[in-house]
Amino acid sequence: MTSETKGTVGIIGLGIMGSAYAKNLLDAGFGVVGTDVADEAMATLAGQGGTPVGSAREVAEAADILLLALPSVKALEAVTKEIAEALRPGAVVCEMGTLPIDAKEACRAALEAEGADVLDCPVSGTGAQAAKRDLSIYASGEEAAFRKVEAAFAGFARDVRYCGAFGTGMKLKYIANLLVTIHNLSTAEALLLAERAGLDLNLVYDAIRPGAGGSRMFDVRAPMMIEERYEPATMKMDIYIKDLQLIMDFAREMRSPTPLMAASLPFYFAALAEGRGKEDTASLFAVLKGMTGARGKDGSKGD
């Protein structure tokens, strides 16, 4: 199929995730029009074969399906205001971020007043997984609107599922990220123990991965930890800290205890204190290693 038969998808926000969505959609035969505040991201889209434009409004004018891949509530509010009066009739707007449900509800109210359908569609997976089309999408909202975008989602995700009423997707994402938070730290903890026991870490990875102790985060992050390679990040530590707060707020609202999540938090904040905000969350390994007095491959040492 050609992009003419599959249609055009608009992407507002071409960071680690949005750029991966664009490439995989283009490879799947969709047209892609997108925008970002970073010139480098716009150049990347052009190099991928997509069409960069100068504003979110222009994206809204060009596509019936819009993916919002934005980093913050402030960015979502600004984009919502910008695209509200530019939406094409029957457009479906998919809010893909990890953001508070009330912020997404505000976006929904504003854009549905202009005739659009709005879906809450958070994505589970790292930037590295996004590049390989190895993502899960938790879509929630009107099912008829989901059916309009389902084929496009399949162009950049491995697992696409309709989850029910608007906001259900974000609740699932909070739970998924709770597990990611714990599994990142448990992977770092296990590898450091193995290293101090004198084991070959590549042997450890190969042996643990298919067994009962393996996890998706062990699959994804253990190789980065073994190589002590934390840049370029597939999930930047300073961005992920936002997700930690959302999970804890949600758990508090549900009055649900999260002892392992709570025990994990100090290590993420220690990474920030060490200046690792732009590094991948795999740098938890360096934080733990620094606690032993051992130096990393780059010569760094924890205080």
pLDDT digits (tens, 9 = 90+) for 96-126: 999 999 999 999 999 999 999 999 999 999 9
| Residue 301, pLDDT score | 54
Angle, alpha carbons 264-270-276 (nearest 5°): 115
Q: What is the pLDDT of residue 300?
A: 61
pLDDT of residue 5: 54
Q: Residue 38: is it exposed, middle or buried by C-beta count within 10 angstroms (0-12/13-18/19+)?
A: exposed
Q: State residue 6's pLDDT score.
A: 85
pLDDT of residue 58: 98
Q: Catalytic residue numbers?
A: 173
pLDDT for the residue 298 = 64
SS3 (DSSP) at 10: strand
Q: What is the pLDDT of residue 89?
A: 94
Q: What is the pLDDT of residue 143?
A: 98
Place of tokens 């035969």: 29
- Counting every residue, how long is the chain? 303
Beta strands in 69-120 (DSSP E): 92-95, 117-120
- pLDDT at residue 226, rounded to an integer: 98
CB 69 within 8 A of CB 89: no
Read off the tokens for 99: 């953001």
CA distance linking residue 24 with residue 152, whole number of Å? 10
Question: Is the Cβ–Cβ distance between 146 and 119 less than 8 Å?
Answer: yes
pLDDT at 299 (0 to 100): 59
**Which residues, given as ranges, of the chain have pLDDT below 50?**
1-4, 302-303
Residue 3's pLDDT is what?
Answer: 43
pTM, whole model, 2 decimals? 0.90
Token couple for 231: 């840049």
How confident is the model at residue 303, as a pLDDT?
40
Instruction: Determine the pLDDT at residue 302.
Output: 45
